Amino acid sequence: MSLLAGAPAVLGAALPAEIPSPSVGVWHLGPLPVRGYALCILAGIVVAVWLTQKRLEARGHRKGVAIDISAWAVPFGIVGGRIYHLVTTPQPYFGENGDPWKAFAIYEGGLGIWGAIALGAVGAWIGCRRNGVSFRDFVDAAAPGVAIAQAMGRFGNWFNNEIYGAPTDLPWKLRIYEWDTSLGRAVVDAQGSPVVKGYFHPTFLYEALWCLLLAAFLIWLGRSRPLKAGQVFAAYVMGYPVGRIVIENMRSDSANLILGQRVNTWVSVLVFLLGVYLWRRFGRMEQPVVPTTGDGADTAEHSEHPEGNAEAAEAAEGTADEGTEDPAVAATGNGPNDTVPGETKVDRPAQT
């Protein structure tokens, strides 16, 4: 007990006294404003597309296909995220003293992840259809990268001094400034020093860490379990709301309520149930066909999946049996006019 009693003091000595926040969230390169929020979102998109491409290539898809599909998914996702934010938080834009033109000021923050994923999935579906990629294959490959992009995007909230919890004096307390949204920087006093609003729980950081843990779990799950296509994505749909429900109820920013709970809490519950449905639904569906890239990637994947090898062996055995029924036909197989039998359709292997 004496060791546990001294743990807070040891932890306090090992950690910084506080987590500082930027006092400036936008920098000007001549007439061009460079916003920390936008940089974090863009960096997250780049990482997500890169990781998705790597995972798709490991499944036998061609190089560059993730960029082609993301050209549809990303714009749809940004629009969907903004629409969700406007629907669930309309007061600053359409309420009393609201500014409707601010609805287009995405650079000031305000992208709802639920709308981004929902409409982004529609864009991804269109991109998959246009590029001959199984939608379930793509979302499985994209799920860990999306979680990482969410983690990186939360640091955009850090630049904007937003998304924080209740006041605290813990060693990892977050310093928050009084913020001038129109200027993208902290309010300053007569001496030009930024005005400190207080110290709060860094809920943006809690959610970022949860998303990184979720991304690591999804990668592990896909490699260690023989899942059906789409189930890694379903695990993401189930996993993210679990952490979001906890963190959402720690936040101190204003939000619309339904039956005493924040709107995003109710949406998290519904999304979790959707993930359960998708897990069961995808688990009963057939595996997509392995893409043929011409470089042997599909053959390498097929050789690692015993079920796929068994199906191919059965097909080959059936062909051999049919050939032995007619000796004349079998004999002609050794002549100069041999025909190559049609390729056997091979199901997509389990997640690796």
pLDDT digits (tens, 9 = 90+) for 259-276: 889 999 999 999 999 999
What's the helix, strand, coil split of the chain in %, to 5?
60, 10, 30
Residue 6 pLDDT level (bands cut at 50, 70, 90): low
pLDDT of residue 258: 87
pLDDT digits (tens, 9 = 90+) for 53-82: 999 999 889 999 999 999 999 999 999 999
Cα-based distances in Å from 189 to 4, 80, 192, 194, 195: 43, 39, 5, 6, 6
Q: pLDDT-based confidence at 154, cuts 50/70/90?
A: very high
Each residue's pLDDT tens digit, 174-207: 999 999 988 889 999 999 899 999 999 999 999 9
3-state class of 304 per DSSP?
A: coil
The residues spanned by each domain of the chain are 7-283, 296-352
Q: What is the mean pLDDT of residues 23-38?
A: 91
Distance between CA atoms of residues 320 and 342, nearest Å: 13
The whole-number pLDDT of residue 311 equals 43
pTM value is 0.77
CB atoms < 10 A from the CB of 339, how many? Answer: 7
pLDDT at 97: 80
C-alpha to C-alpha distance for 79 and 340, rounded to whole angstroms: 50
C-alpha torsion angle, residues 303, 306, 309, 311 (rounded to 10): -150
Share of the chain above pLDDT 90, in %: 60
Spatial contact of 25 and 160, defined as CB atoms under 8 Å apart: yes
**Where are the alpha helices (H) located in 160-262, listed in sequence order?**
203-224, 231-248
Nearest 5°: CA angle at 264, between 259 and 269? 80
Q: What is residue 76's predicted lDDT score, i.e. its pLDDT? A: 96
Element (DSSP H or E) covering residue 197: strand 196-200
For residue 352, what pLDDT is reported?
41
Residues 139, 127 contacting (CB under 8 angstroms): no
